[in-house]
A and B are shown apart, each in its own frame.
Chain A
């Protein structure tokens, strides 16, 4: 009989190569000092790869809300939302989010990954077709697969390519759902939403925008890319996560569709899992209030992002995209040199994400930074200084990737 894990031998070899280069896949934060600092390997380290965009993880009002909920409602709900796991605080969070987004309905999921699984599977079925951007997050791919819908992939950020595929497909007798992301997690680029809306007007599909990296970040109201583009009314469905700007864990789907509440009963990732724990729900609700109350956090994030973007570009490094966003990825030449540089950065006191194929588009090897509103200018400058020493000094890194 074949050993099930035999097929993972190549993966084991790769993990060993990474370990030999002195890395761990995911270093351990021994103690968090702030939203932007932790002790790693006994060193005070600047965190520049946390997706903690709004820096709310140590916000006193969020911590207090979490502690109160923990004391009042206990450690966990021990049940699904459709059984014993619906508390008043879950409904309060859904109302708070719907109000923030200016949408009629909101459904909370237990993780961001499950929000995409649950939305795709809850919306589309075997007779429908989902058109997804080639660079979509893994949770979107997995949700699409779970839905059983026919899946068509279009070229990244290419509205004309989507138009061509929709035209070629024609009327299938089922619904058509197009899935885009506000900010793409690896390169930090945004979907050209206005172009896609033109295609929507021509073909009449339903549009879902995953605002995982853009919720709280983009737009005059912090609702995401659709808000920034002034096209909230064109997004039939919005998905988001609590593990980034909200600083908790969980996710949501929102819509104005009159039948949207039925997704609670057509989505197994919503039904067949325990609802989010009280402390997490309460911190998420408090964080949404912070985002609404303190728009200056978005301004600080924007200014920190611009400082890092221009600082790194000034070093001659090739970045993931040409527009400033809180996701700033430095393209590197190959896996071995990226591993070496990532280790050197960590040893020198800055944690960034290392992103390698197949988790990256176009087989890119990336040192990916994510910026926080909580970073100080001094921290941003230190990150730039370390990239100057470790990365810009490395000839391999400046070779075109």
Chain B
């Protein structure tokens, strides 16, 4: 991961902690909903935290193609540029 990706990964990990009840170890390839066994509402709540932290909108439509932490990093990077 680049420094920028690592920085986003660390922040996403921090924001995800309140939803990570099973304390699953987070890696770039971790599938957020599946590996953490969290429901769709929790995923949307997590995304809302990400939006607020990075001051960006992440439309829900993006989420159908966003599964892993790495996917989420890409979403944040892409939307930072817009």
Contact = CB atoms under 8 A, between A and B. Distances in A.
Contacts of B44: 134, 153
Contacts of A129: 59
A129 to B, nearest CB: 8
Interface string A5-25: 000001000000000000000
Contacts of B37: 10
Nearest to B37: A10
A168 interface: yes
A101 B48 CA distance: 35
Contact of A165 (B41, B42, B57, B60): B57
Interface in B35-74: 37, 39-42, 44-45, 47-48, 55-57, 59-61
Contacts of A169: 57
B61 A363 contact: no
A401 interface: no
Given A151-B59, A168-B55, A363 B48 contact: no
A151 B60 contact: yes
A153 B48 CA distance: 8
Contact of A358 (B40, B55, B61): B40
A10 B34 CA distance: 11
A164 B63 CA distance: 21
Nearest to B38: A358
A205 to B, nearest CB: 15
Interface in A141-198: 144-145, 150-153, 155, 165, 168-169
Contacts of A150: 59, 61
Contacts of B60: 144-145, 151-153
Interface centre among B37, B57, B59 (most CB of A within 10 A): B57
Interface string B8-22: 000000000000000
A221 B39 CA distance: 40
Nearest to A358: B39
A361 B39 CA distance: 12
Contact of B41 (A144, A168, A358): A358
A129 B57 CA distance: 12
A357 interface: yes
Given A168-B55, A168-B57, A357 B39 contact: yes
A152 B39 contact: no
Contacts of A358: 39-42
Contacts of B55: 168
B41 to A, nearest CB: 4
A357 B56 contact: no
A168 B56 contact: yes
Contacts of A357: 39, 41
Interface in A98-150: 129, 134, 144-145, 150
Contact of A152 (B41, B42, B45, B59): B59
B33 to A, nearest CB: 11
A10 to B, nearest CB: 8
B64 to A, nearest CB: 9
B48 A152 contact: no
A168 B42 CA distance: 23
Nearest to B45: A134
Contacts of B45: 134
29 contacts: A10-B37, A129-B59, A134-B44, A134-B45, A134-B48, A144-B60, A145-B60, A150-B59, A151-B60, A151-B61, A152-B57, A152-B59, A152-B60, A153-B44, A153-B47, A153-B48, A153-B60, A155-B48, A165-B57, A168-B55, A168-B56, A168-B57, A169-B57, A357-B39, A357-B41, A358-B40, A358-B41, A361-B41, A363-B42
Given A144-B60, A151-B61, A168-B57, 10 more contacts: A129-B59, A134-B45, A150-B59, A151-B59, A152-B57, A153-B60, A165-B57, A358-B40, A358-B41, A363-B42
Interface of B: 37, 39-42, 44-45, 47-48, 55-57, 59-61
